[in-house]
């Protein structure tokens, strides 16, 4: 099928590359010409494992362009995957979305086109995009019409595992009020739903994956599914962090507690890792947007609000733990291991490391930090914070009064902790992710504390 994708950010590019790999003919459009230029030469502007390799494999079916008149006419499906960054009120900025909708309306031809919201958009955006498209089609000077329907197809990709989540998803959700739009999307996703594509050697199909469930529903339900899924994941993490607080007081082990409840298949064991809490561009933004939407209807969402409150308390607990150990924070040096909001990405949006670093700096602490991937990005985006960036974890440890493991990069598990402990002024490690081996750390002469 002929597909156009507007926006080559993290979601748009992943979707475009995967659909092209399935054999569809895909045009990826971005108004940022420099991005298009680097994509044409095979360079991927974001850090996402295997994206460059899959792009290479799908290249015969992929085109990159900045021109709507090249990408849109004749496309059977047009995805809108532009950014919807949060505004200060918590509601997303829909400027790029509205621009994209108008431009699509100007360029679709008379063949039936399904316009799909892939960006995380507020509930009701499907209708709104539909009205913008209609308006734009009506204003055409040549009077030519456009036959289209709007659909929602939320994504559930995790950064760092985006291709795996696209090729082998737990489910695909499509929503539209017109059955023919759902039929088109069903055909588009058929190779993934039936798992009939040849799995790439670098992303083999897990043995447990066979047919993928499809949730084919109305527009509003599909839009709400996205928010409800992210809010539920966020509150699952906050729940275990709240239980962690009790666990610490009564002398229980939160990892054991999480395992004990997670093995109940009604609860499930994933997203029960206690620690400094969630970050990233999605959970914070989507919980805020859900709360904002509900309030438009006069509704209060105490559970979702509590998930946010508990999450921000986890950052304060880092400072409290350091204060309890070091007594005085002013003039101390604290090293952060990890800056990215999670491993396998260089994304720093709402990264706990930034909030923690700022809280410590505000209390007169000198902060040093290491990250295997995100250092350069941190320098570009947060270089003025006053954090000393180090190329090696060993350099971070030098002269530190405490180390905090903020991001559980796998390489941190195998560090020579004995050497690190010797380099520190005070060998104290606060494991913010329950990622390290307590016994190993203690043997290495490190005092080991977790946030549970």
Residues of this chain that interact with ligand UGA (CB under 6 A) are 120, 155-159, 230, 233, 237, 271-273, 275, 277-280, 282-283, 341-342
Residue bearing tokens 């190993």:
440
- Identify each DSSP E strand in 100-220 by its residue range: 112-117, 147-152, 172-176, 214-217
d(CA 171, CA 65): 30
Of 268, 272, 182, 191, nearest to 222 by C-alpha is 182
Burial of 339 per CB tally in 10 Å (0-12, 13-18, 19+): buried
Of 11, 14, 6, nearest to 30 by C-alpha is 6
Helix locations, 51-124, DSSP H:
51-58, 68-71, 95-107
Burial 365-397 (b: 16+ CB within 10 A, else e): bbbbbbbbbbbebbeeebeeeebebbeebeebb
State in angstroms the smallest separation of the CB of 241 from ligand UGA: 8
> Is 282 a catalytic site residue?
yes
Interaxial angle between packed helices 125-138 and 95-107, expressed in degrees from 0 to 180 and rounded to the nearest 10? 40
What would the two tokens of residue 429 be? 């490690």
Give the residues across from 431 on adjacent strands.
405, 450
State in angstroms the smallest separation of the CB of 427 from ligand UGA: 25
Question: Catalytic one among 18, 282, 390, 400?
Answer: 282
Of 169, 150, 173, 157, nearest to 77 by C-alpha is 150
Query: What is the dihedral sign for C-alpha 182, 151, 21, 346?
Result: negative
State in angstroms the smallest separation of the CB of 135 from ligand UGA: 29
Q: CB-based contacts of 125: which residues, under 8 Å, 6+ apart?
A: 94, 97, 117, 152, 223
For ligand UGA, the closer CB: 107 or 342: 342
Between CA 415 and CA 427, with CA 421 as vertex, the angle to 5 degrees is 130
State in angstroms the smallest separation of the CB of 23 from ligand UGA: 24
Of 433, 452, 413, 405, nearest to 253 by C-alpha is 452
State in angstroms the smallest separation of the CB of 439 from ligand UGA: 23
Which helix (DSSP H) or strand (DSSP E) does residue 404 occupy? strand 402-405
Report the chain's terminal Cα–Cα distance, integer Å: 50
How many other C-beta atoms can be found within 10 angstroms of the C-beta atom of residue 36? 19
> Residues 136, 106: contact at Cβ < 8 Å?
yes
Burial 305-326 (b: 16+ CB within 10 A, else e): bebbebbeebbebbbebbeeeb
State in angstroms the smallest separation of the CB of 231 from ligand UGA: 10
Helix locations, 22-50, DSSP H:
33-40
For ligand UGA, the closer CB: 372 or 427: 372
State in angstroms the smallest separation of the CB of 120 from ligand UGA: 6
For ligand UGA, the closer CB: 333 or 345: 345
For ligand UGA, the closer CB: 413 or 443: 413
For ligand UGA, the closer CB: 158 or 440: 158
For ligand UGA, the closer CB: 63 or 382: 382
For ligand UGA, the closer CB: 115 or 406: 406
For ligand UGA, the closer CB: 155 or 371: 155
For ligand UGA, the closer CB: 149 or 233: 233
State in angstroms the smallest separation of the CB of 320 from ligand UGA: 18
State in angstroms the smallest separation of the CB of 435 from ligand UGA: 10
d(CA 53, CA 335): 35
Catalytically active residues are: 282
């Amino acid at each position: 099928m002929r597909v156009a994708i507007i926006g080559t950010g993290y979601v748009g590019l992943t979707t475009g590359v995967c659909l092209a790999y399935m054999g569809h003919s895909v045009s990826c459009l971005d108004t940022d010409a420099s991005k298009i230029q680097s994509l044409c030469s095979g360079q991927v502007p974001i850090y996402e494992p295997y994206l460059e390799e899959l792009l290479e494999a799908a290249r015969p079916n992929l085109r990159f362009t900045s021109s709507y008149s090249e990408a849109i006419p004749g496309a059977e499906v047009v995805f809108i995957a532009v950014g919807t960054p949060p505004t200060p009120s918590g509601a997303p900025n829909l400027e790029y979305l509205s621009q994209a909708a108008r431009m699509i309306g100007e360029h679709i031809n008379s063949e039936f086109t399904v316009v799909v919201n892939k960006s995380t958009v507020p509930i009701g955006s499907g209708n709104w995009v539909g009205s913008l498209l209609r308006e734009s089609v009506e204003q055409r000077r040549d009077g030519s019409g456009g036959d289209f329907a709007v659909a929602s197809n939320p994504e559930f990709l995790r950064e760092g595992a985006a291709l795996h989540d696209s090729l082998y998803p737990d489910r695909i959700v499509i929503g539209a009020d017109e059955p023919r739009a759902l039929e088109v999307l069903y055909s588009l996703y058929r190779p993934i739903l039936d798992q009939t594509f040849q799995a790439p050697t670098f992303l083999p199909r897990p043995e447990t994956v066979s047919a993928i469930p499809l949730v084919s529903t109305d527009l509003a339900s599909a839009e709400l599914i996205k928010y409800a899924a992210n809010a539920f994941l966020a509150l699952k993490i906050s729940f275990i962090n709240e239980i962690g607080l009790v666990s610490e007081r009564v002398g229980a082990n939160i990892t054991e507690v999480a395992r004990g409840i997670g093995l109940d298949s009604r609860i499930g064991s994933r997203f029960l890792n206690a620690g400094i809490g969630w970050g990233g561009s999605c959970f914070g933004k989507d919980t805020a947007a859900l709360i904002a939407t509900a309030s438009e209807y006069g509704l209060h969402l105490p559970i979702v609000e509590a998930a946010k409150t508990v999450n921000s308390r986890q950052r304060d607990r880092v400072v409290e733990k350091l204060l309890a150990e070091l007594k005085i924070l002013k003039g101390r040096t604290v090293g952060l291991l990890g800056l990215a909001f999670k491993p396998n990405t260089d994304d720093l949006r709402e990264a706990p490391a930034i909030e923690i670093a700022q809280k410590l700096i505000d209390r007169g602490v000198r902060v040093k930090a290491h990250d295997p991937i995100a250092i350069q990005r941190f320098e570009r985006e947060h270089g003025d914070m006053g954090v000393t960036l180090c190329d090696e974890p060993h350099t971070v440890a030098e002269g530190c009064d405490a180390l905090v493991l903020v991001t559980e990069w796998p390489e941190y598990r195998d560090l020579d902790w004995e050497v690190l402990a010797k380099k520190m002024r005070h060998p104290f490690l606060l494991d913010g992710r329950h990622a390290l081996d307590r016994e190993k750390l203690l043997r290495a002469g490190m005092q080991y504390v977790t946030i549970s």
